[in-house]
Amino acid sequence: MAQKDVGNKVPIYKLKKTDEVMKYYDEWGEDNKYDQDMVDWNYTGPKETSEIFVKYQTDKEIKIYDAGCGTGLVGVELKKYGFSNFHGADLSQKLLDLVPEDLYQKLDKVDLNKEINEKDNSFDALMCVGTFTFGHVKPPALDEFIRITKNKGLICFTINEGIHEEYGFDKKIDQLNKENKWKELEFFKSNYIASKDVNAWLGLYEVNK
């Protein structure tokens, strides 16, 4: 799969280490450039995932963990459908500082490649949009996502098409399917950043415990 030049200053596929990724996003947040770029590029990840999520999730009171929430674009979209109980987690303090006030109940600076400091079954649903990409969060995070999500809760995510096989997301998802850890409700190629010719797999799964 060709590596596409999407990113701020340096192409995103060149990122390897967590420190590099954190610095990259902290700088991208300056002068609100991240949000402006997402508008200019017509980044549709948050909108597309929210549209699929609300097809299956009718209870608006649920508590949602937004893994890699960035500036809160997923919360902005889900709020349009009446959801309001969001807990955001991200590596970049700069982006967390840009989340609109009062949109999220709680915001934590977290490295999602490590154990998540939340109790088992803490959330009714989990969203992870734009965060499974080059040098970012790796497949074992899916085990943690399942652990902190309640039985029958929904997990909705995108995976940049360029890393789906290279990083072993395909195998990890197969394994979770076979082990009956979740049930696949949706899995398809979404637009994502079509303006840059970058698409992403969009998955929606129901946790089975």
Ligand X SMILES: C[S@@+](CC[C@H](N)C(=O)[O-])C[C@H]1O[C@@H](n2cnc3c(N)ncnc32)[C@H](O)[C@@H]1O
Q: Rounded to whole angstroms, what are the CA distances from 175 to 135, 137, 139?
A: 22, 18, 11
Euclidean distance between CA atoms 98 and 29, whole angstroms: 8
Work out which of 92, 157, 182, 207 binds ligand X, going by CB under 6 A. Answer: 92
CB of 29 to ligand X, least distance (A): 9
Which amino acid, residue 45? G
Residue 116 binds ligand X, judged by CB under 6 A: no
Residue 131 binds ligand X, judged by CB under 6 A: yes
CB of 21 to ligand X, least distance (A): 5
Work out which of 4, 6, 44, 46 binds ligand X, going by CB under 6 A. Answer: 46
**5 phi, psi to nearest 5 deg:** -85, 80
Query: 3-state secondary structure string, 104-125?
Result: CCEEEECCCCCCCCCCCCCEEE
CB of 116 to ligand X, least distance (A): 10
Binding stretches for ligand X (CB under 6 A) = 18, 21, 25, 45-46, 68-70, 73-74, 90-92, 95, 110-113, 129-131, 136-137
